[in-house]
Structure 1
Amino acid sequence: MNEMADSLATVTPGLSGMEDALVRSLEQLGAGVLIKHLGTGRYEYASPAARGLWPGARDPLGASDAELFDAVQAVALRAADQQAVSLSSGFAAEHRLERQGERREYMVWRQALRDADGQASRVLSSWQDLTEARKREQQLQAALQQIEEQQLANAELRREMQDNQVRDNVSGLYHRAHFEEQLRREADLSSREQREFAIVSVAVDGMDDIRQTYGADSCERVVEALGRLLRANTRAMDSPCRLGGDRFVVLLSGVGLATAHSRMEHLRKQCSQHIVAYNGQQIPFTVSMGIASFPHTAGSVEELMRSADRSMAVSREKGGNHLTLASIQFVPAG
């Protein structure tokens, strides 16, 4: 008899045995449990954990949402209660509530409690404060983003370091070693696939005159401008290179003489119309070009380079600002 009395005494006042068991189970899971009377809109039950859910708020027991929160928040809570009443399996929702200038986030599961006649008279709500977990999640995401950004920055730095090893600092074009490697690969590919490629030898006209007229640094500004124009007029598969001083060379992959002539003539005209602004002065410049192609004007890489250089020298002899094509070799039939 005493054991039965002790068992009945454990039931929370105002709750049935089944409801009390549900409340206790939720409390053991660390949730704050509230029961609201739908008629009065006031909380009839608040577990110890629920009484600390909302920092700075009054004890929810006996209070209504309108007394605990502002009007907008109270309306949102009542709407969630009505949603739970309309469902038989319960209803979960997230709420963001402002208290004393602090926003806290909660996951709330609601279940309508029904009388013997099946009418919902109360709503049980189980509150889980997600604020700290969300903060840790945001901190983790921020840390991961920083790591990702650092990795990207490191990768970009490695690319820049690698780029600096193969590119000229002033013109932004490839160094000779990189160009020669690409040239060998292109020659091998051309021999295997029976296709052409072209080499363009380029020299800035009158670089010594530019230096004497506008100053030593003016030559670097001209080289920078020519580098930009060469990069803009070549494809990713091409290899524009600065050999040093006023000398440049371009490998045009998979291109024959006619196409190379058309593209480089366009570049020549761009150079002749380009003005370099330097130290309050405007510096005009032109280029001389010679084009040779493999295998039509030369049968080896070495001869190809010499053929392009000879053609460029012819352009210079004609006064500069000129483009010369190498002669096509004619092999007599055996």
Structure 2
Amino acid sequence: MDEDLMDAPLKLLVIEDNQADFLLLQRHLKLQGLPVSCAWIDSMAKLESALAAQRWDAVLADYNVPGMVFGQSMDLIRSRQSDLPVILVTGALGDEKAVDLLKQGCSDFVLKENLARLVPAIERSLHEVAEHRARREAEEALRESEDRYRSVIEALFEGIVLIDADGALQAANTSAERILGLTMEHLAGSTSLDPRWQTIHEDGSPFPGEMHPAWVTLQTGQPCHEVIMGVHKPDGSLVWLSINSRPLYRPGDTSPYAVVASFVDITERKRAEEELRILQAQLREAAIHDPLTGLYNRRYLDETMKRELARAAREGHPISIFMGDIDHFKQLNDTYGHQAGDEILKTLGEVLRAHARAGDIPCRYGGEEFVVILPDMPLEAARERAELVRRDFANLRFAFGDAQLGSTISIGVSVYPEYGTTADELIGAADQALYEAKQTGRNRVCLASRLGPTLNN
């Protein structure tokens, strides 16, 4: 817990439609040792009244509050207290929307299911506000006196260093020492070319000393802005910095006599970005997979079939499809319950994935039905693959209570272009073959009729 936040209770506005969630959030903050004074806001009128009554330290805002449009709430907050940090604390929210809201000015984004990130997010946001205010004060102080300027620089949360024309570090504020993990005694005289500095780019590759923004500014006279660099501290930890550098000139000189470099620790921001990237990947995976079986879902099947058919037409390759379902599935559910049925479906998903090549697309079509797209596979090879799947699934048994459960599947196989040139035609032909497999005894594989979807006409 940051000691600076313990001097007095933080005044927080909590925009939340559910009072129970508000109380839970308030209790969580206090349990984390953060002294707070919270006001519950569930309408625009309450928000306007609270903002008029006093200044606040931060806003914790749910995105979906009936009767409150989030954008209008943000506009009202900015008009009354422009530097007031707003942290989204909400449930499920699309990743694109979350990124958009962060771009619009929200300080951070915390899911209700992961409140462990809330206190660090509040501390980080307050530090950013403090840094902004300190920078503004520094600009004012510089006009008044050099002594006051140095005092403010020392108080800044961001690191400030002065580098001479030879590239040697001459001065550093306390924040620079804290961020880099070195005292001025160790920093004095060092340059960006010093082999002790182990620096990396965002992709993990080495960051050469001659590319350090301070060195670039010395050589070119041009400032550098928001250069991202990873620095390995003496304790072995990695800190990520966002660095700015600006040249200092004496009257009449064309080359800088020194460079002022400022940097902030963005390690937490990088971690949050990585968490968001992982969340985005998880959301993309969830959007195309069936949660029970792990197979692709119907939506992905529809999208992929169009693409694969276009590629097959262009390259002259076959596409085989087999469609199947579990025999007597309703009877199994009625006898043992839906939990047993779910276990059977999961087992089938594992078998289908085990027999899939890298380019194959096994999908749950609906209920107990499945479809597997087999690009660049002729009909006979697809029939053999379907037989392997049918045989392996039929041989599986698993314990369910006191019972040993198992089942069988029936499969129909069709191929492009012989049995159709569209997704509907190919699936229809495979479905007709599946119907034949069911009618002729189940637990078998049947090939589509040459008449394809017109079999029963």
Class of the TM-score when normalised by the shorter of the 2 chains: 0.5 to 0.7
The letter of the residue matching 2:332 is: I
- Report deviation, 1:150: 5.5
Q: 1:309 aligns with which of 424, 427, 431?
A: 431
Alpha carbons of 1:311 and 1:134: their partners in 2 closer, same or farther (altered >3 Å)?
A: closer
The letter of the residue matching 1:190 is: A
State the alpha-carbon separation in 2 of the partners of residues 137 and 328 from structure 1. Answer: 72
**8 Å Cα contact 2:309/2:421 also seen in 1:** no
State the alpha-carbon separation in 1 of the partners of residues 322 and 270 from structure 2. Answer: 42
Aligned residue-pair number: 205
User: Radius of gyration: which is bigger?
Assistant: 1
- Report deviation, 1:158: 1.7
The letter of the residue matching 2:373 is: L
Residue of structure 1 in register with 2:413 after alignment: 291
Counterpart check, 1:268 vs 2:379: no
Q: 1:253 aligns with which of 367, 372, 375?
A: 375
**8 Å Cα contact 1:297/1:329 also seen in 2:** yes
Counterpart check, 1:224 vs 2:346: yes
Residue of structure 2 in register with 1:161 after alignment: 283
**8 Å Cα contact 1:239/1:251 also seen in 2:** yes
Residue of structure 1 in register with 2:324 after alignment: 202
Percent identity over paired residues: 28
Q: CA RMSD in A?
A: 3.1
User: Which aligned runs of 4 or more in structure 1 are off by greater than 4 angstroms?
Assistant: 133-137, 141-153
Instruction: Report the secondary structure of 1:316's partner residue.
Output: helix
The letter of the residue matching 1:263 is: R
**8 Å Cα contact 1:202/1:288 also seen in 2:** yes
Alpha carbons of 1:135 and 1:159: their partners in 2 closer, same or farther (altered >3 Å)?
A: closer
State the alpha-carbon separation in 2 of the partners of residues 252 and 290 from structure 1. Answer: 13
State the alpha-carbon separation in 2 of the partners of residues 149 and 319 from structure 1. Answer: 57
TM-score by length of 2: 0.41
Partner deviation per Cα, 1:256-275 (whole Å, 9 max, x = no partner): 10111111111110100011
Alpha carbons of 1:155 and 1:236: their partners in 2 closer, same or farther (altered >3 Å)?
A: farther
State the alpha-carbon separation in 1 of the partners of residues 275 and 386 from structure 2. Answer: 37
Residue of structure 2 in register with 1:138 after alignment: 236
Instruction: Report the secondary structure of 1:290's partner residue.
Output: strand
The letter of the residue matching 1:196 is: P
Residue of structure 2 in register with 1:188 after alignment: 310
Instruction: Report the secondary structure of 2:446's partner residue.
Output: strand
Alpha carbons of 1:328 and 1:148: their partners in 2 closer, same or farther (altered >3 Å)?
A: farther
Structure 1: state its 5+ residue gaps.
1-28, 30-93, 95-132
Partner deviation per Cα, 1:268-314 (whole Å, 9 max, x = no partner): 10100011332343211110000000002223332211100000111
Instruction: Report the secondary structure of 2:236's partner residue.
Output: helix
Alpha carbons of 1:256 and 1:170: their partners in 2 closer, same or farther (altered >3 Å)?
A: same
State the alpha-carbon separation in 1 of the partners of residues 271 and 355 from structure 2. Answer: 33
Alpha carbons of 1:327 and 1:269: their partners in 2 closer, same or farther (altered >3 Å)?
A: same
TM-score by length of 1: 0.55
- Report deviation, 1:238: 1.5
Residue of structure 2 in register with 1:239 after alignment: 361
Q: Which has the higher contact order (CA 8 A, sep 6+)?
A: 1
State the alpha-carbon separation in 1 of the partners of residues 420 and 400 from structure 2. Answer: 41
